[in-house]
Structure 1
Amino acid sequence: MKFIIALATLAASALAQSVNIGAPADMSTVTPGNNITVQVNRPNTLTGSEEVAIVIGLFPCSGADGQPASCAETNTTGVLGTVLYNGPYKPQYADGAPSLPPHQNFSIQVPATFKSGQVSLGVAHFALVGASMMPISEFVNTTLVVQ
């Protein structure tokens, strides 16, 4: 029984550290060669943590024939594609925006070579959690439309 409680506590601690993509919104339109701002939020938690890094990438969705397809038809789980940022993650509260959770904004450029269609914007997050500094990793993504 103690094992189950400990396991549940560890799982809750890891989930409490989850990030989410605050911007751009799902199905936002982006243009090849232009910069976009990716806002990565880390909601507050009572569990101590130390942020290590994030990686941001764009992956063009395609069907089995290699032609552009809906990201809903493509397995984008854990796929970063073209890595556009790889480095520190230090979420902070924004002055003048008290409703926002701690977050950090990243300016990335949509590769000029990307063709029209849907792409998966993926974020891999790495952190150390709790008094024992347990390493966690997670992946979140959203779909964007290249025009």
Structure 2
Amino acid sequence: MPSTRDTWVWYGLAALFVLPPGCMALSRLSMDLFISSGSAGEASLGTFLGAFALTVLASWASVLFSLLLTVGLFLDSRQLRRTDGDWSPTPLYALAGIVHGVGSTLLAAFAVSVPVVGYYLYRRRTRDTTAR
């Protein structure tokens, strides 16, 4: 059974894994609202500015969460290599976090990063953490 620390680290990495694509979807929806409210006239100026602000904030949030995922993957894989377990991942998994960050701009990059980070999280969750 994983320790409490292992469980919280896994949940943190899983949240950082899901947030960038979610922020990009929100950014896309707010961009559609921004474009449609711009053609509606002066009456919807508040909606126009709000949609623009949401688009920018969601895009930058996606980049920030991807950077945090990269740092988290690097530090977690380094910590797992120091412990005595049945799986010691390479810190190169952090490169998948960088590719996940590229997915904030180029959605096709998620096709590479999602399976790699998903595999890392799967192995991280099923890892034997008992002391030997």
TM-score in same-fold range (> 0.5): no
Kindly indicate whether structure 1 or structure 2 has the higher relative contact order, using CA contacts under 8 Å at least 6 residues apart.
1
Larger strand fraction of residues:
1
